[in-house]
Amino acid sequence: MPRPNVRATDRPDIQHPHERGIEASIQKERRARDRAMKARAPKAKAAQPGPEKFCVGRGPTTQPMTPAVKAWIRRESARQLSNYQSIAKEIADLAPMRERWAKEFYERITGPRGFSVHAGQRRTIQQSELPARPKRPWRVLW
C-alpha cells in the first residue's frame, strides 16, 4: 500500500526500515543542499535567448484575415512570448542546481550500485560511456 504524501523524488516501495531511514536521510540532505544552493544562486539578470522554432509551418493562409483575428493573433503571440520568457528565466535561475543534479546523477549511475535495468537487474555505466555536456546554456524547448 503506498504511503500518503509521497514526493516524486522519494522511493515509495522501500520495505526495510534501515533502508527507509537511509533514504529519508538522503532526501533530507538533498532538500537542505537545494535550499542552500538556491540561496547562493546569483540573482543577476542574464539575457535570455529568444525562442527557437523547430517546426515547419504551412505558410500564410490563403483566406483573408479579419482585423479581429489579427488582433487576437498579436495578443496571443505576446502572451505566449511572455510565458516563454518567464519559463526561460526560471530555467536560467536553476542552472547551477541543474549542473549539480546532473553531476550527482552521473555519480549514481557510475557508482557501485549503478541503475536498475529491469526488475532486479542492475548495471553500472562506465565513465567512458557518459556523454559530454554541450557548451551551451540550458534552453527551453518550445
Q: What is the pLDDT of residues 129-139, one digit of tens each?
A: 888 888 887 77
User: In this structure, is residue 34 part of a structural domain?
Assistant: no
Q: Retrieve residue 131's grid coordinates.
A: 556523454
Model pTM score: 0.52
**Segment holding 26, helix H or strand E:** helix 17-40
The domain total for the chain is: 1
Instruction: Please state, in angstroms and rounded to a whole number, the distance separating the CA atoms of residues 64 and 100.
Output: 52
How many CB atoms sit inside 10 A of residue 125's CB? 14
Query: 78 is in which domain, residue-wise?
Result: 66-110
Instruction: Please state, in angstroms and rounded to a whole number, the distance separating the CA atoms of residues 31 and 23.
Output: 12
What's the average model confidence in pLDDT over 82-93? Answer: 85
User: In this structure, is residue 104 part of a structural domain?
Assistant: yes
Q: How confident is the model at residue 59 (pLDDT cuts 50, 70, 90)?
A: confident
Q: How confident is the model at residue 115 (pLDDT cuts 50, 70, 90)?
A: confident
User: In this structure, is residue 82 part of a structural domain?
Assistant: yes
